[in-house]
Structure 1
Amino acid sequence: HDGFCQWFTDTTDFSIVNSSVKKDIVDFLQKGCDNNKIGLGVYLSPWDMNQRDRGLWNTAEYNRYFLAQLNELLTRYGRVDEVWFDGACGDYEIWKAVPSYRPDTWYDFIESAQPHAVFRMYDPYFFATEEKWEEIKAGKAKLEWRGKAVRWVGNEEGKSRTDEWSVQPVFDRAIAENATFPDLGQEKYYQNAVGAVWYPLEVNTTILNQWFWNAGTSSTKRLSELVEIFYNSIGNNGVLLLNVSPDSNGLIPEDQLQRLMEFKAFMERTFNTNLAIRATIHATSETLNHKADSILDNNKMTYWTTDGGWSINNSNASIIFDLGQARTFNNVLVQEYIREGQRVAEWSFDAWIGDSWQELVHHKTIGYKNIKRFQICTTDRVRLNILRSWDNPMICNFGLYLSNISEEVAEVNDIVQKGPEPDDVDPGELLSGLFYTYYSGGIQSAALIESIVSVKPVKAGIIEAFDVQPTQESIGYSISYKGYIRVSSDGIYTFRLESANGSVLYLGEKLCVDNDEPHEIKAIERKIELKSGYYPIKVLYTSFRHKGMLKVSWSCPGFVMKEIEAYNLWHKG
């Protein structure tokens, strides 16, 4: 959101043209994608914080400026398959429209310049004006939909809903905060819907613990975390946008590359061999041209479906796979023939154990691809049951797989960090309270507050303790706290950092608690071994997407967890 253009732009001097690099990164990316047969996607944030100080932000001219940048990206680099408009804008309340934005003009231009491209829409998206919406609800006007949008999952943590629908009922005039609903797409929303739209899922998250590489604060996610993200996205009727972050030299660090190769190895080891591929198949119903054998022919254009009519609440069908011999697996993969829509509304998967069927999976949605895990099972017979479907089910692929990942040491809060040495400071020079600096604007990462130009210091002073009261705003600001903390005795101290959005805590130069990046209220605890004395302490906090909330607490064998008291916080006079 800082407005820095990583391509050779004619719209602003705040770009890579005037950096020491002087290389068109988008051009390099496009050539790399072409050489590896990968589709090119571009990200352009509508919120350009650099234009705040240049007088263009939030004016009628700003939309022309933004369209000019979009024009460059979509006409200079060949085919573009996806355009991502971030919904963030810390200058306005989240989910509310920004007056200077004209998103319909952006979507029109994408349609004209790259008609095959999909795009992540800016929040909020309005289906119609208030007047036309009333006409649509009354049946006097037709619901219109651009039809090429991908649906943001509603968080940046790599999590998805238990059941993800590509078909979404339209029950509100705007797509905004409802994108975060935990039960979005469920049948109850059809009660007040004016129609439905095709709006498939995209999960976006990071390979690091934060969006941007930072030598002091970033760490790479464990393989087990990436595996969970895989099952929450590709394995749950979605696609995955996994962010990798270059370092200050413009290179992808080795730890990220290594984790990507481990991730690749996991997918290859797990999904290269379909243990159901030679099974004999028996279906309770099939059509002459779409027999059950089509499910295992490795052709995504063929599928099995049932014969005759279908009732969502009264019809069902089953397919039994005789594996020929005992097979051991812990994953089942099912795909619908998505060209005819997402139909299945409830399904289950059974294994023949002993002398009866044992249910291993029971869910609502399948969609383009669904992969479900369960305890390792050994059997020679399995059954797929379609229990509810909006129309005759169409299944184009089925698979059984055995997955395993290398054993890892999980991150646990009981690990004790060795803290820094106490500062050699004369207590007589210290005064009670902390220095604070208040900045206008929230950002993705609290760790960047002091080094980024897009947040501006507004006021500073002394504050009694860690508190968000220096500002009257409820959202869209940042604060730094600096001073000393007094540790009265040697011991192992647990520091607890609780916040909505990003926060980090340093003792001396050591990052001790990292609760960074946008999130709802979440607490992180870390144990640190400290000697008695005075330690420089710094806490950075940003309110970006959620209402501001910060609480800094500690405990040790001598006292239970509590907010750090004012009498233990000091600053140099």
Structure 2
Amino acid sequence: MKKLFIILCLFAHVQVSAQQLAKPSAVQYKWQEQGRIMFVHFGVATWLGQEYDETGEFDISRINPTQLDTDQWCRVAKSWGAKEIIFVAKHAGSFCWWPTHTTEYCVRNIPWKNGKGDLIKDLAVSCKKAGLNLGIYIYPGDIKWGAGLGSGGITKDPSKQEAYNKIFRQQLTEVLANYGEMLEVWFDGSCKVPVSDILQKYASKAVIFQGSDATIRWPGTESGILHYPVWNSLQGKVLKSGVATQYDDDPDGDVWAPLEADVTLYNHNWFWSPKNEAKRRSVDELMEIFYKSVGHGGTLLLNSNPDTTGLIPAGDVKRYAEFGAEINRRFERPLAELNNKAAKEAVLSLEKPTKINHLLLKEDYRQGHRIRKYEVWGLTKNKWEKLTTGSSIGVTKIDYFDDVEVTAIKLKVTEHKGTPLIRSLAAYYVTGFELPKAEKEAKEYTILQEWDTKDFVNGKGQMSIDLGKYITAPGQYEVSFTNAVSVTGMWVEKAEIIFDKDPNTLQEFIQRKPKENVFFINRTGQIDKGTSSILKVEMRSDNKSFQNKGFVKIRKR
């Protein structure tokens, strides 16, 4: 009887542990099920031929996209399987594509439709007609108010903050209240303006990207790639920072916040220009990204770039269609499929010996990340042969391997929390397929400079490190302070990042690795000749009696 009691207690513990896993809300689940989303970057920068409006002083009388067709945008999105469009309604330069009265720098004062246009309205109508969800990107800052890139809406002049808060809150209310239901709200680089009440009132059925109300996350790069494994949960206190990334993944985290992998169609460029059009990614590049975003359990956010006519260029239209066709060619029709099995093992039988080289796995992630490790075996010539192994599955995991002929496939879950919930196991054979390139480990460190405790005063020292020549693109960077002698080393007491000489840079953009002199810097804003990144640190020596020195190193994650 005692043994039975112990067994029952252990079983109860497992059940409680599974029940305590972070799980997606109904809104997050609806959003994640889409898999593919199209971004639309279209604004003053399109006419400038650069990445953003640096001054907010462009002559907007030049903006007249006479052929603008939001129905075309929707057709393009659907051609590659996107289920949502996110439109950049306001970027850092502050131009607004809806007829707001919070600024004169808006669609009311351009020749298009004689100043009577409303691009958000047009797109909302087109999306509804096409069966697409709509999301909105509205930059929390505003260059005209001294709240530039990476500011989160914090003005350089504190005396302007209250007035700007009213402006941004009004703008956000307008875009959320007047155009129907939004599925996503994008705050690029976090949002420090208090807007929780507005989101609760007008965007309760939307996921939020960045800011203290965030319910989804940025991976930490704009490569479109998620590094495997992908866990959609993390600690809630980290999510509240507003700038959590994939680095913060925790399969046992207490909140659910899935990852959205954003990437450009034009390599490293978000807006159209004639020269950028020449940087269009190939189908092979896009498929590589697809495998390492959607295929790793995330959501792919692929950009589009209407030109000054308002249309997505013909070459881009063709490329999106080719991309969608290639996805369908590979994964539209499985050779065999097994669905909805709650078990540690699932066997998929084939009618005859069949050649395969791909598996598409799905977990019922509505109950959280229950599957932690798995193996896939193939029955070939009456002998089970291991085909691949993995850890996270989540919404989708694409596994691939050399061609093999099998009569059955077995998915074996080797580590799990609670009963594994296998949603789908599907087998494919893809012709003309080359194995995607192996994921590169983080790049080697580059030495920035030396530090030496002999330069400290009373055991304390300071450094100001210019990272400008090393932080050359948006992404996550790792800065490490190493000691030559660990027992008489140095400790960084404080680290501060300053972007673009802005003393109000959000310090959420720098995170410390617990108990180490290692820092992760997230650069979300675009990089150009006018941007800068300065790291300021305060240090102390662990032992004033001995001198020590070491290096400061950096690498892109």
> TM-score if structure 1 supplies the norm length?
0.57
Aligned to 1:360, which of 387, 399, 403? 387
1:78 deviates by: 0.9
- 1:545/1:340 Cα in 2 relative to 1: closer, same or farther (>3 Å)? farther
**Counterparts of 1:143-542 in structure 2 under 5 Å?**
149-170=215-236, 172=238, 174-175=240-241, 179=245, 181=247, 184-186=248-250, 196-209=254-267, 210-218=269-277, 219-277=279-337, 295-296=338-339, 303-306=340-343, 317-404=344-431, 475-476=499-500, 518=526, 541-542=529-530
1:342 deviates by: 2.0
The superposition leaves residues 151-207 of structure 1 with CA deviations (integer Å, 9 ceiling, x where unpaired) of 1111111110211111223465853665252xx3246xx6xxxx6101111111111
The answer to which structure has the higher helix fraction is 2
1:71 matched residue in structure 2: 173
> Would the aligned equivalents of 1:152 and 1:179 in 2 still touch at CA under 8 Å?
yes
1:326 deviates by: 2.1
Amino acid at match of 1:212: F
- 1:17/1:75 Cα in 2 relative to 1: closer, same or farther (>3 Å)? same
1:9 matched residue in structure 2: 100
- 1:501/1:108 Cα in 2 relative to 1: closer, same or farther (>3 Å)? closer
Q: Tell me, yes or no, if structure 1 residue 117 matches structure 2 residue 177.
A: no
1:518 deviates by: 4.9
2:509 matched residue in structure 1: none
1:56 deviates by: 9.2
d(CA) in 1 for partners of 2:259 and 2:180? Answer: 25
The superposition leaves residues 485-515 of structure 1 with CA deviations (integer Å, 9 ceiling, x where unpaired) of xxxxxxxxxxxxxxx999xxxxxxxxxxxxx
- 1:404/1:56 Cα in 2 relative to 1: closer, same or farther (>3 Å)? farther
The superposition leaves residues 337-361 of structure 1 with CA deviations (integer Å, 9 ceiling, x where unpaired) of 1222221111121222345322222
RMSD over aligned Cα, in angstroms? 3.4
- 1:542/1:333 Cα in 2 relative to 1: closer, same or farther (>3 Å)? farther
> Would the aligned equivalents of 1:213 and 1:245 in 2 still touch at CA under 8 Å?
yes
- Unaligned 5+ segments in structure 1 are 89-97, 126-145, 278-294, 297-302, 307-316, 411-439, 447-472, 479-499, 503-516, 520-539, 549-573
Q: SS at 1:175's partner residue?
A: coil
Amino acid at match of 1:197: V
Question: Relative contact order: is structure 1 or structure 2 higher (C-alpha 8 Å, sep ≥ 6)?
Answer: 2
> Would the aligned equivalents of 1:518 and 1:544 in 2 still touch at CA under 8 Å?
no
> Would the aligned equivalents of 2:139 and 2:188 in 1 still touch at CA under 8 Å?
yes
Q: SS at 2:399's partner residue?
A: strand
1:128 matched residue in structure 2: none
The superposition leaves residues 288-335 of structure 1 with CA deviations (integer Å, 9 ceiling, x where unpaired) of xxxxxxx43xxxxxx2113xxxxxxxxxx2222221112222221111
> Would the aligned equivalents of 1:153 and 1:180 in 2 still touch at CA under 8 Å?
yes
- 1:110/1:186 Cα in 2 relative to 1: closer, same or farther (>3 Å)? closer
Q: SS at 2:311's partner residue?
A: coil
1:29 deviates by: 1.1
The superposition leaves residues 413-432 of structure 1 with CA deviations (integer Å, 9 ceiling, x where unpaired) of xxxxxxxxxxxxxxxxxxxx
d(CA) in 2 for partners of 1:445 and 1:155? Answer: 9
d(CA) in 2 for partners of 1:386 and 1:477? Answer: 51
> Would the aligned equivalents of 2:388 and 2:401 in 1 still touch at CA under 8 Å?
yes
Q: SS at 1:325's partner residue?
A: strand
1:43 matched residue in structure 2: 137
Instruction: Provide runs of 4+ in structure 1 moved above 4 Å.
Output: 53-58, 170-174, 404-407, 443-446, 544-548
2:163 matched residue in structure 1: 61
Amino acid at match of 1:396: R
% same residue: 27
The superposition leaves residues 517-548 of structure 1 with CA deviations (integer Å, 9 ceiling, x where unpaired) of 958xxxxxxxxxxxxxxxxxxxx635367879
d(CA) in 2 for partners of 1:2 and 1:358? Answer: 58
d(CA) in 1 for partners of 2:377 and 2:370? Answer: 21
Amino acid at match of 2:271: F
d(CA) in 2 for partners of 1:199 and 1:250? Answer: 34
1:20 matched residue in structure 2: 111
1:107 matched residue in structure 2: 196
d(CA) in 2 for partners of 1:114 and 1:172? Answer: 22
1:81 matched residue in structure 2: 183
> Would the aligned equivalents of 2:224 and 2:289 in 1 still touch at CA under 8 Å?
yes
- 1:34/1:518 Cα in 2 relative to 1: closer, same or farther (>3 Å)? same
Report which stretch shifted further, 34-43 or 332-341. Answer: 332-341
Q: SS at 1:152's partner residue?
A: coil
> Would the aligned equivalents of 1:150 and 1:201 in 2 still touch at CA under 8 Å?
yes
> Would the aligned equivalents of 2:296 and 2:396 in 1 still touch at CA under 8 Å?
yes
d(CA) in 2 for partners of 1:394 and 1:198? Answer: 18
d(CA) in 2 for partners of 1:237 and 1:57? Answer: 45
Q: SS at 2:299's partner residue?
A: strand
Number of residue pairs the alignment of both structures matches: 358
d(CA) in 1 for partners of 2:522 and 2:363? Answer: 38
1:379 deviates by: 1.7
- 1:58/1:382 Cα in 2 relative to 1: closer, same or farther (>3 Å)? farther
- 1:173/1:16 Cα in 2 relative to 1: closer, same or farther (>3 Å)? closer
- Unaligned 5+ segments in structure 2 are 1-91, 148-154, 438-467, 475-496, 503-520, 537-557
> Would the aligned equivalents of 1:501 and 1:518 in 2 still touch at CA under 8 Å?
no
> Would the aligned equivalents of 2:210 and 2:242 in 1 still touch at CA under 8 Å?
no
Amino acid at match of 2:266: L
Q: SS at 1:112's partner residue?
A: helix
d(CA) in 1 for partners of 2:530 and 2:126? Answer: 35
Amino acid at match of 2:401: F
Amino acid at match of 1:368: V
1:475 deviates by: 3.6
d(CA) in 1 for partners of 2:244 and 2:216? Answer: 15
Amino acid at match of 2:274: A
d(CA) in 2 for partners of 1:543 and 1:360? Answer: 48
- 1:172/1:76 Cα in 2 relative to 1: closer, same or farther (>3 Å)? closer
